[in-house]
């Protein structure tokens, strides 16, 4: 994808080589700092020795020309990172249905072919975005290191889910809004085919293990997961609007976390027994 660079008297490196460097970074999904001179030469269709001669004999000259043209070689993120970030913002502000490779490429300042090379297709891009902005990875990390009792773990999980819902860009709330509005939409189904198995293998598996240990009711993992997450998601989806209507009656964030923690425990936690203690 061609870019218009800023003119500069310091720019001794030819424009076509700056463009070739940008294309090479995008095609390989790496930062400008990680692009080798061999990569640039291949992209430009010239030999490495010719490239070195045309940029004045050093890589530093190329880096300085990129910086002068408005592209910071040490700070430019790879295509994958840029695409995930701009897609997250796009979903948060405009909705899932607005995401196309053409729009993502324009916002991420990369080419459409580089997106195909990086992700393979739109569905894979959406999976990467929701992997980044869903609570699944954080939940798995928390459960892998959780050493507290059931109540403490539930409280930490509740707080983590709240953090995910309030984090910018607000990708998860946008997805849940799409579910309510268009539950049969192909875009929604594509994302949920990825998120649901991951959720059940993480949070669902932990709840199933707690049920097997006699600490919570023996219910299907999906229902246990929904009992924990459903009230939290609904409250914090509505909280921005509710706060404008009944702000004085809205409990604090921490009070809300504690309320949902205790409500879930009252609904599913079983009294400790001698047998349950031994099995734990």
Query: Do 144 and 111 belong together in one domain?
Result: no
Cβ-contact 51, 37 below 8 angstroms: yes
In a domain, 89, yes or no: yes
In a domain, 185, yes or no: yes
What's the sign of the alpha-carbon dihedral 241, 154, 195, 124?
Answer: positive
Residue 111 sits in which domain range? 79-120
Domain of 237, CATH number, reads 1.10.357.10
According to the model, what pLDDT value does residue 178 have? Answer: 85
In a domain, 29, yes or no: yes
Query: Do 63 and 113 belong together in one domain?
Result: no
- Total count of domains within the chain: 3
pTM of the model: 0.69
Query: Do 274 and 139 belong together in one domain?
Result: yes
Whether 121 has a pLDDT exceeding 70, the answer reads yes
Whether 73 has a pLDDT exceeding 60, the answer reads no
Under 8 Å CB-to-CB from 252, ≥6 apart: which residues?
A: none
Helix, coil or strand: residue 269: strand
Cβ-contact 73, 63 below 8 angstroms: yes
pLDDT digits 0-9 by tens, 147-164: 779 999 999 999 999 998
Distance separating alpha carbons of residues 78 and 101, to the nearest angstrom? 16
* Residue 278: pLDDT band with limits 50, 70, 90: very low
* Residue 268: pLDDT band with limits 50, 70, 90: very high
In a domain, 167, yes or no: yes
Q: Which residues pair with 184 in a beta bridge?
A: none
In a domain, 9, yes or no: no
Domain of 99, CATH number, reads 1.10.10.60
Query: Do 54 and 110 belong together in one domain?
Result: no
Query: Do 33 and 166 belong together in one domain?
Result: no
Under 8 Å CB-to-CB from 182, ≥6 apart: which residues?
A: 188
Query: Do 156 and 267 belong together in one domain?
Result: yes
* Residue 74: pLDDT band with limits 50, 70, 90: low
Under 8 Å CB-to-CB from 248, ≥6 apart: which residues?
A: none
């Amino acid at each position: 994808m061609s870019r218009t660079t800023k003119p500069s008297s310091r720019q001794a490196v030819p424009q076509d080589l700056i463009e070739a460097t940008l294309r090479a970074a995008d095609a390989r999904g790496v930062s400008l700092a990680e692009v080798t001179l061999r990569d640039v030469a291949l992209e430009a269709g010239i030999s490495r020795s010719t490239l070195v001669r045309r940029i004045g004999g050093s890589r530093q000259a190329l880096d300085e020309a990129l910086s002068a043209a408005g592209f910071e070689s040490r700070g430019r993120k790879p295509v994958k990172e840029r695409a995930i970030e701009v897609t997250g913002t796009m979903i948060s502000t405009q909705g899932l249905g607005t995401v196309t490779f053409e729009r993502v490429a324009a916002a991420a300042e990369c080419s459409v072919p580089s997106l195909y090379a990086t992700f393979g297709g739109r569905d894979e891009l959406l999976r990467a975005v929701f992997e980044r902005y869903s609570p699944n990875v954080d939940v798995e990390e928390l459960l892998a290191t959780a050493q507290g009792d059931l109540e403490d773990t539930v409280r930490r999980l509740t707080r983590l889910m709240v953090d995910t819902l309030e984090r910018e860009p607000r990708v998860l709330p946008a997805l849940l809004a799409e579910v309510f509005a268009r539950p049969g939409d192909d875009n929604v189904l594509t994302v949920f085919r990825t998120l649901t198995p991951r959720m059940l293998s993480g949070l669902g598996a932990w709840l199933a293990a707690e049920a097997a240990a006699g600490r919570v009711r023996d219910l299907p993992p999906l229902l246990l997961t929904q009992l924990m997450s459903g009230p939290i998601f609904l409250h914090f989806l509505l909280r921005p609007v509710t706060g404008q209507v009944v702000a004085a009656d809205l409990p604090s964030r921490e009070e809300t976390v504690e309320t949902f923690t205790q409500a879930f425990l009252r609904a599913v936690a079983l009294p400790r027994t001698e047998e349950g203690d031994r099995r734990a």
